[in-house]
Chains A and B, each alone.
Chain A
Amino acid sequence: AQSVTQLGSHVSVSEGALVLLRCNYSSSVPPYLFWYVQYPNQGLQLLLKYTTGATLVKGINGFEAEFKKSETSFHLTKPSAHMSDAAEYFCAVSEQWNTGNQFYFGTGTSLTVIP
């Protein structure tokens, strides 16, 4: 089974600073990769996804992520943090060959934005 590692359960950045949330996966076969954001007591909102093609993926709210096969990573970045970015972020992978399309989630990273 896949394992998804999000380094840093809590990340704090100042407003306007760079946001970097880390995600590594374990599969030797490149999976489909996703980043979701969750606000308190709400479901998951898709930020961006990588399936094939360009390895730098742009998502909503100014976020982007780069798939690096050699590093088995899919780190999420945003050049300038806004207060509204404070939330829980989850990295998820889905195996391309698995027709059941089970998602494997990381443990999440709580982002705090300091004014």
Chain B
Amino acid sequence: GAVVSQHPSRVICKSGTSVKIECRSLDFQATTMFWYRQFPKQSLMLMATSNEGSKATYEQGVEKDKFLINHASLTLSTLTVTSAHPEDSSFYICSAKRDLSVYEQYFGPGTRLTVT
């Protein structure tokens, strides 16, 4: 159990367009989801914490108007990169925390975004 999926796995978009990435908990309810960004050969950087039914909490330096996060249900959170630019190209990973687990996060497989 505790499977997290992401869609799409890879996306290429043109500069100036927006792209939406979905994160789903497939077999459990996730009250909290996290979005991370990973540059090549680097660690994961937390972008925001998303709680179902409330506004996301963004980390310092992350533009909330550029990276829109919606956690509309207990199994789905979305990250929309608005007006994407080449510097937004990165690997985006989501994770989800289970209700009954006080510590563990379950990670999705990641989405590779390339902005041309």
Contacts and interface: CB of A to CB of B under 8 A. Distances in A.
Interface of A: 32, 36, 41-46, 49, 51, 90, 94, 96, 99-103, 105-108, 110
Interface residues of B, number: 22
Contacts of B43: 90, 105-108
Interface of B: 6, 32, 34, 41-44, 46, 49, 91, 93, 95, 97, 102-105, 107-110, 112
Contact of A90 (B44, B97, B103, B110): B44
A108 to B, nearest CB: 5
B46 A102 contact: yes
A98 B32 CA distance: 13
A94 B103 contact: yes
Contacts of B102: 99, 101
